[in-house]
Each structure stands twice: as structure tokens, then as C-alpha cells.
Structure 1
């Protein structure tokens, strides 16, 4: 069996570049674009456009590994709903954001175990795929952590942007505009990302007050706050409710 080259195809620009590289290197028949779909209310429409255009350019389908095998993206729970259901924001076992664990990590591992189970050779246990990530050479800690975690369960990892000389470094080179989301946010995560900082949430407050209010409701139900700030050299929690009047004034001031 040929080894499959599985791209963690997030919908961000970096994972698209990795996908193009892998198809050029190994052929499209040996490449899988694996995505965890997000409810369209919380994933920018242009991210979905970008994913489709890149996949169409490569002549590959997008393979989805969604929570509870849900196929209709409109039925995928939001980051807030999974936290309310679990009555927590962080997975106490891994310290990982609960939304990431439920919506991405757990379905990812389920997909791998079902499609690329362990087989025993005379000398070692191996997997039939290599996992590719879009981390660059400024993210050495993330690279080390991800390669260690996945290596611990038997998977090889690769980070072409960090370590390879790529022919394509910008999707504009192939006529595909990067997501316009990057004009507003620095990442392609959910709108109302529970791992994001104050700037992300200020933009959410201004552009998506409906999502901001869902965040307030989630914090109230779970009785936990997303953010910490430092006051008089002491780290303190600050809720989205407390931030709202500050953000309101910032908006009024034209920030």
C-alpha cells in the first residue's frame, strides 16, 4: 500500500500552500485534504470559498471529519454549544480548548484510527500516512509539540513551509485569492474564537454582535471567563460582559 499524504486542510492560506506542494511532489492520488467543517454562522463565507477553489484546482475532494459524523455543516454545533454542553471551556485532561478538542481533535483522531489503523511489522508499529501541517519556521515550538504528540501515537509529521523550498508560496500565483478574512482577522479560526485575544473579540463585538452576545451567554452558563488581564501587576479575569462597555467606548472613539 502506498503511503498517503494527509493534509490538515484548515481553510487557511498555509495549509493550502502545503496541499499544493504535496500534490506536486506525490500526485493527487496519494493526497487527502482533511478538514473539520465549521457551522457557516461561525466560519467566514470566504474561507469556504477558498477551500473549494483550492480543492478544485488540485482536482481533489475535501474529506470531512466532523463531530459526531455530522454531514450538514448547518447542524454542526458552535464552539459555544460544545462548551455549554460540557459545562467547561478547557479540557482538564489536556488543557486544550474544549471547542478544539470536540470539533477538531477528537474527530481527527477517530478518522485516523478508522482509516489508518496500526499494523505490526517485524520490528515496529507503523501507520500508512504522513500528516502535513502549515506551520512555518517561526513556529518551532508548535512544530516540536505537534510532531511529539502525533509521533507518540505512531504517526509521522511533516512541515514543508518550515523546511522545504516551495515553488508556490502564495495562492495568488495560481490565480486563487487568499481569504479576505485575513484583512480582518490574523487567523482563519471561528468567528468568536475561544482561544483568541482581546483584539479578536473587539472585532467580533463590532462586526458580529450576535456572536459576541453568544459568548456572553456561554460565559454566564459555564461560569468561566475567556480572558485574563493584568491590573496592578496582578492577573485577573475579565468577562465579555465587563469588556462590552469598554468596547462600546472604543467603537464610539473610532478605534
Structure 2
């Protein structure tokens, strides 16, 4: 029997994914759409508020999947500390849960998923990577769509639309200066600028990440770190001490060359 199409917004709690979800539902109808969220259990509490308010505005419930582990627990289980180049937390907590859900839609509900991502034109190369991934990773290829690139040709300020037209306040992490609202600032794919921002606005969150890193290094007796410098480990403790010595302001302007985590758009 031919599967019925179902449109699935990869709902990350970010502004672009929210706008794409809204447009998807407007185009295809609530009954044919899903807001899909994979929870890492590290999300900032204001993300949940934003996601629920957007879902209420759109008129559709959030469909959530949870592995049950935090990123730190994934690092321990895999004996690998996520870093600015490779993050197994997103693979375990986001990607695998997504694949399981897609197969569930097909096998148990006879639905054919079409995935929607909130990636903009400035990240078009990431769209290419995601398209390639979902053509080969599931048992059958999955269609992917990127409306911010393929459909909305004009420059759309989705943050203004959400706040001024929808009347929904954006996640507080945007206001605090973060480029995305994932994992309450503890994203291991964040680079030097990200962690300088985290240390400035949420030093308690930085302390938790530093403690996690130190515990991992001690427990597994590995000289590893989240950040990298000159091709080698550079711990959050070392970075914090340097920022304390030299002043944090200079570190807030560093241009990172890290690859955004899949959590940024899924």
C-alpha cells in the first residue's frame, strides 16, 4: 500500500525552525504535519516555553523523543568527550532518535516522512550534507526540504516576525548573545567565542562544563578537551584562567571556525 505523505518539521527551539514549522502547517494542514523535537535533557528552560508557545500559535502539539541520557552520560558511555570537531551526543540523542522515529512512521503508520529544516542561505552547504545524509542513512531515502533556501527568496527577518507579529518572545539565549539556543550554552561544538560568551553571561553553566571536562579527564585518564588549540587539547580550565588574566572582552570577538552541531537545525 502506498504510504501517505506526512510533513515533519525538525523543531529545534530556534527561530528559523519555528518559522519553517508555521509555514509548513499553513501549506499542508495540521492533520498532515508533525513538530518533531529530540530532547537532550540539557535544554534551557526558556526553550521549552518558546516551543510550547509557538506550537500553540501554530495549533499543533510537539512530538518529542528522548533517549534518556544527557550529553555527559553519552560521553561516559562512549568513553569519548565531545569536542568542537566531533560530538557523539548529537549522533546518539538527536540523529538516532530521528531515524527510529522515521522508521516508526513508515512501519507502524504507513506514512512517508518529508523533513523540513530551518537552514538559511548562509548555511546552504549544510543543507547539501543533510540531504546526502537522509538519502543514505535510513533504510529508505527520506526527502528533505529547506524552505528558507528553496522557497522564501526574499530576506526574511524571522525573529522580528515571531516577536512582533506572533507576539512570542524569543528564547532568552538569543538576547544573551548566543548564536543558537541549544543545550543551555553547554554545546560542545561551540568554539572559543561561544565559551567566552558562556563564561560572561552564565558562569555557573561554564563551571558545570568545566567540571564535566575535568571529571572525564580524571576518570578515563585521557588528555582530552572540548576546545582545541594548535592541534592539541586546551581545557576549559586553562581557557578560563587565561580570560581571567587577560580580560574577557577580547575573547568575545574571536571568529570560530567550528561546524555547528546538528542540534542547531534538528
TM-score normalised by the chain length of structure 1:
0.81
Cα separation, 1, equivalents of 2:122 and 2:251: 33
Question: Could you report, residue by residue, the CA deviation over 1:209-253 in whole angstroms, capped at 9, with x for unpaired residues?
Answer: 3432332333332431111224xxxx3321112112112232599
Partner of 1:227: 227
Once the two structures are TM-superposed, the CA of residue 118 in structure 1 deviates from its matched residue by 9.9
Question: How is 1:89-108 mapped onto 2 (pairs within 5 angstroms)?
Answer: 89-90=81-82, 96-108=86-98
Residue pair 2:25, 2:33 contacting (<8 A) in 1 also? yes
Cα separation, 2, equivalents of 1:207 and 1:179: 15
Question: Could you report, residue by residue, the CA deviation over 1:75-115 in whole angstroms, capped at 9, with x for unpaired residues?
Answer: xx332232123210359xxx841111122111111111122
Match among 204, 215, 225 for residue 209 of structure 2 = 215
Cα separation, 1, equivalents of 2:70 and 2:200: 20
- Please, which moves more after superposition, 221-230 or 238-247? 221-230
Structure 1 alignment gaps of length 5 or more = 69-76, 120-125
Cα separation, 2, equivalents of 1:254 and 1:101: 29
Cα separation, 1, equivalents of 2:94 and 2:249: 37
Partner of 1:73: none
Instruction: Mark the CA change 1:252 to 1:62 in structure 2 (over 3 Å): closer, same or farther.
Output: closer
TM-score normalised by the chain length of structure 2:
0.78
The answer to whether the aligner puts 1:113 opposite 2:103 as a matched pair is: yes
Cα separation, 1, equivalents of 2:34 and 2:198: 33
Cα separation, 1, equivalents of 2:113 and 2:74: 30
Once the two structures are TM-superposed, the CA of residue 192 in structure 1 deviates from its matched residue by 1.1
Cα separation, 2, equivalents of 1:136 and 1:12: 12
Cα separation, 2, equivalents of 1:147 and 1:127: 19
Residue pair 1:116, 1:128 contacting (<8 A) in 2 also? yes
Cα separation, 2, equivalents of 1:58 and 1:201: 34
